[in-house]
């Protein structure tokens, strides 16, 4: 059977399901990608203080070890998904795994912070191919056209949430053990080995692509990558150069101009990188907004809480990673529960709204942190945030991709993962910029602010250590309150976008009253 026939929805409606010999390996290799890539992300945050000490780096340059990865992944995610629809989702998935593995190997051997940042950007480009093509591979393999029941499809995408949650949960602990025992370079080597396994497993998956293969929208791809990358880069520059400085405003203006050009190009393109009709669907847009909310409420904590605990309380990377399990373990355990609740009739909109409210409450609760705080005292807020994220992590992909035709699953998956990747880059940068600004206002020194935010507090004299710990605590509390407010606003927005039609009846225009007929003159 040809690829066109494979992807023809009408033909698939009467075709036999894909061979089980292909379904199993496809599910396994995609889940491996969704396990190890989040593990590498969350695990790297625990290693930042050690990386900074070894490479003599701090502040924005050190944070780019994580930010650069997010920026590259989010910039290429949408394009990777659309290219998978055209040239083959397995092919793009495999290419992404190869780039990710090469970039992670280069990270392990980097001799300075600039080389490490560049290698992480390269890894992020590869991660875009893995993440965008992985979920679209499953969307097609387990589509209704192949005879897959809705409940099974929901469970499959819940497995993605479980794998991603497991990666987030195990990453800090695993990396903490590796960093304390063998060093941060050995940690990157381990993740490179996982990337090689993903690449090897790609050979056993089933290829799929869209029914037709028109010319690639090169102009759309170039303007989107350039526009998003420049815009995100400007956001990262703001914290270092100033928000109204030329190094910030120039790339911001160029990025916004390219994104405006991208919208104009997509309106005229026969096969656009992004079908803008998706963005006009309120129900579809609600799920990327929800995904943004889940990431926005946790990114800053994953990066800066380990540094805070190591700097103010003297815990090691291993113990800091173990404490983060309080937040990440629910992300491992709860996605199947969320899928089960939806399959049993609980409205998905109610679940995502509840999740965002829990994340807002957890961030507000976490503002009670203080130097020397115990893991037991952190359990309440971290578990609340983790439960909020875990409940909805496994339903977002199923809800969003279930609204589009299988032949556009790569585009929709790319858009959804672009939002996820952009969330990491933007929130890490904004959270870090706010934290650095607050610390600089208290210390009077940008260099001191960068050292403190990386967990590098002065040990002696004790008086200076206590002062720096108090400054770090006050600044982090304000940043957490801001995240709590943002999460509350996103909760209201998602609720509005997912309101059922009955709730919007009052907003529909009333029919015009017909004028009364003119009175006839008396005879």
Token pair belonging to 414: 């790319």
Contact criterion met (CB below 8 Å) for 208 and 23: no
Per-residue pLDDT of 70-97, as tens digits, reads 778 777 777 777 777 777 788 888 899 9
Measured between alpha carbons, how far is 78 from 96 in angstroms, rounded to an integer?
13
pLDDT of res. 490:
93
* Nearest alpha-carbon partner for 235 in 60, 11, 492: 60
For the stretch 197-209, pLDDT in tens is 999 888 877 777 6
Who has greater pLDDT, 517 or 127? 127
Task: Indicate yes or no: pTM above 0.75.
Answer: no
Ramachandran angles phi, psi of 367, nearest 5°: -70, -5
Q: CA-CA distance, 188 to 185, in Å (whole number)?
A: 5
Region of residue 455 (left: phi > 0; alpha: psi -120 to 50; beta: else): left
Average pLDDT over residues 298-323: 81
Could you read off the pLDDT of 390-430 as tens digits, one per residue? Answer: 888 778 877 877 777 766 666 777 677 677 766 766 777 77
Tokens of 372: 């020397």
At residue 514, the pLDDT reads 47
Q: Is there a contact between 259 and 223 (Cβ–Cβ < 8 Å)?
A: yes
Q: What is the pLDDT of residue 421?
A: 66
Q: pLDDT-derived band of residue 501, with 50, 70 and 90 as boundaries?
A: low
% of the chain exceeding 70 in pLDDT: 81
CA distance 338 to 332: 12
pLDDT tens profile 228-240: 778 877 876 766 6
């Amino acid at each position: 059977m040809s690829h066109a026939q494979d992807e023809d929805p009408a033909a698939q409606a009467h075709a036999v399901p894909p061979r089980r010999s292909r379904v199993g390996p496809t599910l396994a290799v995609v889940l491996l990608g969704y396990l190890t890539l989040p593990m590498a992300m969350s695990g790297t945050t625990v290693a930042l203080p050690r990386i900074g000490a070894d490479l003599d780096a701090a502040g924005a340059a050190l944070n780019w070890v994580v930010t650069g990865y997010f920026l590259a992944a989010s910039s290429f995610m949408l394009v990777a998904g659309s290219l998978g629809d055209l040239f083959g989702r397995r092919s793009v998935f495999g290419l992404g795994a190869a780039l990710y593995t090469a970039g992670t190997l280069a990270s392990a051997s980097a001799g300075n912070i600039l080389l490490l940042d560049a290698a992480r950007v390269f890894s992020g480009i590869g991660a875009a191919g893995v993440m965008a093509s992985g979920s679209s591979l499953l969307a097609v393999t387990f589509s209704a056209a192949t005879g897959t029941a809705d409940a099974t499809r929901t469970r499959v995408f819940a497995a993605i949430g479980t794998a991603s949650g497991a990666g987030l949960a195990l990453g800090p602990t695993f990396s903490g053990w590796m960093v304390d025992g063998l060093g941060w370079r050995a940690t990157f080597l381990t993740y490179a080995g996982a990337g090689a396994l993903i690449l090897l497993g790609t050979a056993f998956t089933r290829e799929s692509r869209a029914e037709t293969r028109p010319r690639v929208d090169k102009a759309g791809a170039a303007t989107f990558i350039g526009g998003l990358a420049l815009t995100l880069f400007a956001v990262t520059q703001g914290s270092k150069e100033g928000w109204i400085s030329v190094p910030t405003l120039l790339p911001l203006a160029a990025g916004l101009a390219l994104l405006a050009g991208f919208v104009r190009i997509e309106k005229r393109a026969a096969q656009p990188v992004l079908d803008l009709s998706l963005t006009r669907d309120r129900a579809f847009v609600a799920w990327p907004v929800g995904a943004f909310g889940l990431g926005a409420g946790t990114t800053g904590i994953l990066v800066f809480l380990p540094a805070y605990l190591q700097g103010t309380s003297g815990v090691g990377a291993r113990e800091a990673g173990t404490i983060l399990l309080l937040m990440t373990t629910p992300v491992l355990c709860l996605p199947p529960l969320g899928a089960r609740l939806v399959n049993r009739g609980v409205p998905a909109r109610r679940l995502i709204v509840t999740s965002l409210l829990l994340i807002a409450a957890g961030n507000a609760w976490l503002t009670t942190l203080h130097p020397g705080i115990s893991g037991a005292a952190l359990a309440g807020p971290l578990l609340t945030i983790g439960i909020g994220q875990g409940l909805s992590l496994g339903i977002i992909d199923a809800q969003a991709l279930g609204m589009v035709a299988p032949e556009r699953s790569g585009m929709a998956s790319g858009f959804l993962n672009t939002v996820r990747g952009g969330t990491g880059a933007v929130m890490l940068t904004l959270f870090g910029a706010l934290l650095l600004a607050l610390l600089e206002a208290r210390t009077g020194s940008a260099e001191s602010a960068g050292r403190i935010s990386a967990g590098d507090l002065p040990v002696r004299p004790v008086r200076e250590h206590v002062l720096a710990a108090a400054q770090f605590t006050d600044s982090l509390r304000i940043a957490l309150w801001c995240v709590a407010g943002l999460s509350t606003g996103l909760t209201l927005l998602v609720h509005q976008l997912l309101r059922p039609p009955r709730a919007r009846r009052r907003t529909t225009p009333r029919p015009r009253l017909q004028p009364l007929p003119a009175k006839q003159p008396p005879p």
